[in-house]
Amino acid sequence: MTSAAHHSPHPAKADALMDDAHADLGVDAEADGRRLDRAALRRVAGLSTERADVTEVEYRQVRLERVVLVGVWTSGTADEAERSLAELAALAETAGAVVLDGVIQRRDRPDPATYIGSGKARELRDIVQEVGADTVICDGELSPAQLVRLEEVVDAKVVDRTALILDIFAQHATSREGKAQVALAQMQYMLPRLRGWGQSLSRQMGGGAGGGGMATRGPGETKIETDRRRIHERMARLRREIAEMKSGRELKRRDRRRNSVPSVAIAGYTNAGKSSLLNRLTGASVLVQNALFATLDPTVRRATTPSGRSYTITDTVGFVRHLPHHLVEAFRSTLEEVAEADLLLHVVDGAHPAPLEQLASVRAVIRDVDAAGVPELVVINKADAATPAALAALAEAEPHHVVVSARTGQGIDTLRQLLEAALPHREVQVDVLIPYVAGSLVARVHADGDVLAEEHTADGTLLRARVAPDLAAELSAYART
């Protein structure tokens, strides 16, 4: 991460920045101040968009923490287990945490009470004290009860992989839609965890669940019920907002479809080089970072094939193993871009130690958003950094592939040709003579159609092109007989 906000030594400052980022979700200033006070007292940041409402709940952020990682290795090789923890470390660092140590326990399944065995949990407490960590991050999704129990044993804040990913998404979301989607996913994650955290918090505060007690409670309603009701209301509001924003995007998409501009979607594991590839193909300058989930909001760009056909290309959010289900749900409308594409460029990092696992996890999400029917071209990226043996193995496993380097440009011409061949063709061929006064039509044919021949004559522009039916109808006035 490069942003200073994530390394700020002052939690309160980072909090303030966070609040800025969420300002457009509508929080009034007074509540804002209250919320900051409270956050300062408890030394925990509350639920980012909703702290004014939910007094007894903290949404656990990972940034700025000194962390120890812990994984339960249930199946697969030792290598796989270690890679999983290494990925968790990369995620933690992306979130702004400093990773001090990591431990793995071999078990048939996670302990139902404390995730790792209770003996190991006590060892973990010693490690946490020894290295001076304040947070433990578990490489899995823990039940609310497991979180609370483990926290009691290790005597430090415990966060699971799902919360960590949600936190990264919350930091990276920039568009209104992206922020709303993340906030919704966070609330879904939090809802079943309210009771556990409420209890542990009230204990920390010396008992009495009414501690902060600012919520207006209905008669006979407990604090937890009030919180739950408010979160439900808030979620309903977010769902409405997301649905509205989605319809705006759908209009644009319908417009593109009416002109039958073919669309290409780039998908792939996080950090595979999707944005780099988009930049290479279109000359765009989408943010490229050696960080996970650098891109959250889909970017749509216009591009042209070698023969001049135009298409749109979309960069999407990266995928990761065990992407929290709530996030997939919340981002469903964004991911629908992938489902509607004419072609999917599935980018995979050829220099990664386990590219096949990454391909498989991305495909799981693609199936989940009903995009499995979209034709897929596997783009093996980072050829400059991968060994020939690794590239050969990948190529054999994925027959329909192209090897490229977004960094050096190697293979990009081949990719462009394959891409062109894979795009669907327009239905209608036209032969027209467009007078110069109607020059904007010529521009539209260039933008939305495939120009086969063009000649400038004294009477206007002679065009032979393939276009969508709508445009063909508009052009019919100039048809040559």
Ligand X SMILES: Nc1nc2c(ncn2[C@@H]2O[C@H](COP(=O)(O)OP(=O)(O)OP(=O)(O)O)[C@@H](O)[C@H]2O)c(=O)[nH]1
- CB 253, min distance to ligand X, A: 21
**113-172 residues near Mg ion, rule: CB under 5 A:** none
- CB 162, min distance to ligand X, A: 18
Q: Binding residue per annotation — 143?
A: no
Cβ proximity of 428 and 469 under 8 Å? yes
| Of 217 and 407, CB closest to ligand X | 407
Cβ proximity of 394 and 371 under 8 Å? no
Q: Binding residue per annotation — 220?
A: no
Interaction site with ligand X (CB under 6 A): 268, 270-276, 288-295, 318, 381-382, 384-385, 405-407
Q: Of 427, 404, 410, 326, nearest to 368 (Cα)?
A: 326
101 binds, among ligand X, Mg ion, none (CB under 5 to 8 A by kind): none
Q: Of 396, 463, 412, nearest to 435 (Cα)?
A: 463
| Of 52 and 345, CB closest to ligand X | 345
CA distance readout (Å), 195 to 144, 187, 224, 235, 432: 8, 14, 7, 18, 70
Q: Which residue number places its CB atom closest to ligand X?
A: 318
* Residue 270 in contact with Mg ion, rule: CB under 5 A: no
Q: Binding residue per annotation — 384?
A: yes
| Of 6 and 38, CB closest to Mg ion | 6
- Piece in contact with Mg ion (CB under 5 A), picked from 44-52, 181-189, 290-298, 336-344: 290-298
Among residues 295, 299, 334, 381, which is the contact residue for Mg ion, using CB under 5 A?
A: 295
- CB 275, min distance to Mg ion, A: 3
d(CA 80, CA 239): 38
Task: Please state the length of the chain.
Answer: 481
| Of 121 and 277, CB closest to ligand X | 277
Q: Binding residue per annotation — 272?
A: yes
Q: Binding residue per annotation — 381?
A: yes
Q: Binding residue per annotation — 305?
A: no
- Rg of the chain over Cα atoms, rounded to whole angstroms, equals 26
- CB 431, min distance to ligand X, A: 43
Q: Binding residue per annotation — 20?
A: no
Those residues with Cβ within 8 angstroms of residue 58's Cβ, 6 or more apart along the chain or in another chain: 42, 44, 45, 46, 47, 197, 201
**How do strand 450-457 and strand 460-467 relate by DSSP bridges?**
antiparallel
Q: Binding residue per annotation — 96?
A: no
| Of 48 and 279, CB closest to ligand X | 279
**Vertex 40: Cα angle to 37 and 43 (nearest 5):** 145
- CB 407, min distance to ligand X, A: 4
- CB 292, min distance to ligand X, A: 5
Q: Of 473, 439, 346, 443, nearest to 398 (Cα)?
A: 346
Q: Of 80, 1, 77, 68, nearest to 361 (Cα)?
A: 80
| Of 317 and 386, CB closest to Mg ion | 317
